[in-house]
């Protein structure tokens, strides 16, 4: 069976914009977030408090948060890798953060400048202090299916590293197919392995990149396993600057099109979302990679 309702965790302003060549002014980013909320999205990852040299596209995180109009009932999580990032985020009205770990050693080094062990040590005080301040904490786990340097990633290794992040006190674990190599049978096997290890689908989200065109079918496989939180980026923009061959996330419009056809509720107004992605594509100077945006935006 399928869930009646899916929560879309929108990552366009963060995962999308972090990997676009065009750097938008903070004012435009805040407007992007506002338009997403108007289209009915209820969880919108707004930006990242990472080192500005590592991700210059999001160096204006403070200013984006200051300019953002917040709609009651909408959550606006931000990425926070370490205590310095948390210090920056606290006091700006942040209520939700996300830490981001890796299933593989190579990507931990490339993305966080640390081993898997070292990154857990970095996250531990972040999660503790965030929770003590009343914040909700999500964890991402990258390279859950394959890694560009290490190749296929063993399922046991993914489950082990995912559980370590949840054990820090994170409410939700988002399983990232950072380079988009996963296929539906692999998704099902991974979700079963998590369930066997005591982590049910209610604590998991899926985060698919569409590099190989598998993001939608992988999402359907995850929904059939009971997952109800799906990450997506408006217009399918973005990728990851520290993972070669990562393209954009599953496009939110493609997801909404499929779910509405299946009778699964999302609360998102497709026409309004497409209009936003077309507006953004013009500002980014490239067409949206989303097939649904291409079909509906009417070039």
CB of 30 to Mg ion, least distance (A): 22
Residue 51 partner contact from Mg ion, ligand HMG, none using kind-dependent CB cut-offs of 5 to 8 Å: ligand HMG
Instruction: Tell me if 20 contacts Mg ion by CB under 5 A.
Output: no
Q: Is 147 in the site for Mg ion (CB under 5 A)?
A: no
Residue 262 CB-half CA count within 13 A: 20
Taking the alpha carbons of 119, 120, 121, 125 in that order, is the dihedral positive or negative?
A: positive
Distance CA 83, CA 173 (A): 20
Determine which one of 144, 170, 225, 240 is catalytic. Answer: 240
Site of interaction with ligand HMG (CB under 6 A): 15, 18, 48-51, 54-55, 81-82, 84-85, 88, 100, 111-113, 140, 142, 176, 178, 207, 209, 240, 242
Query: Cβ neighbours of residue 54 under 8 Å, at least 6 residues apart?
Result: 241, 242
Using rule CB under 5 A, residue 15 touches Mg ion: yes
Closer of 54 and 71 to Mg ion (Cβ) = 54
Q: How far is the CB of 208 from Mg ion (least distance, A)?
A: 9
Q: What is the rounded end-to-end Cα distance, in angstroms, of the chain?
A: 37
Using alpha carbons, select from 116, 109, 103 the residue that is nearest to residue 194.
103
Pick 139 or 268: Cβ nearer ligand HMG: 139
Q: Give the neighbor-by-neighbor strand order of the sheet with 47-48.
A: 43-44, 7-10, 229-232, 204-208, 172-177, 136-142, 96-102, 78-79, 47-48
From the list 7-15, 165-173, 189-197, 287-295, the region that binds Mg ion by CB under 5 A is 7-15
- Least CB distance from residue 92 to ligand HMG, whole Å? 13
**How much of the chain is helix, strand and coil, in % rounded to 5?**
45, 15, 35
Residue 229 binds which of Mg ion, ligand HMG, none (CB < 5-8 A, kind-dependent) = none
240 is catalytic: yes
Binding site for Mg ion (CB under 5 A): 15
Catalytic residues: 240
């Amino acid at each position: 069976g399928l869930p009646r309702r899916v929560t879309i965790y929108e990552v366009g302003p963060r995962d999308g914009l972090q990997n676009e060549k065009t750097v938008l002014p903070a004012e435009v980013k805040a407007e992007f977030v506002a338009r997403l909320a108007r289209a009915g999205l209820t969880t919108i990852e707004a930006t990242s408090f990472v080192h500005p040299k590592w991700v210059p596209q999001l160096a204006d995180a403070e200013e984006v948060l200051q300019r953002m109009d917040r709609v009651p009932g909408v959550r606006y999580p931000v990425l926070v890798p370490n205590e310095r990032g948390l210090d920056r985020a606290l006091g700006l009205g942040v209520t939700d953060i996300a830490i981001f770990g890796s299933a593989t050693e190579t990507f931990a080094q490339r993305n966080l400048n640390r081993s898997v062990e070292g990154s857990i040590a970095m996250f531990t005080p972040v999660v503790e202090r965030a929770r003590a301040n009343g914040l909700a904490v999500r964890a991402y786990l990258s390279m859950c299916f394959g890694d560009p340097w290490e190749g296929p990633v063993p399922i046991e290794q993914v489950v082990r590293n995912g559980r370590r992040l949840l054990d820090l006190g994170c409410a939700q674990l988002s399983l990232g197919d950072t380079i988009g190599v996963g296929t539906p049978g692999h998704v099902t096997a991974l979700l079963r392995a998590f369930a066997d290890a005591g982590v049910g689908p209610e604590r998991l989200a899926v985060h698919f990149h569409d590099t190989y065109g598998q993001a939608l079918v992988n999402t359907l496989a995850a929904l059939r396993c009971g997952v109800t939180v799906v990450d997506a980026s408006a217009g399918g923009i973005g990728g990851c600057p520290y993972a070669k061959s990562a393209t954009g996330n599953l496009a939110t419009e493609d997801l909404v099109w499929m779910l509405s056809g299946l009778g699964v509720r999302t609360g998102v107004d497709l026409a309004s979302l497409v209009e936003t992605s077309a507006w953004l594509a013009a500002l980014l100077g490239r067409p949206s990679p989303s097939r649904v945006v291409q079909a509906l935006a009417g070039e």
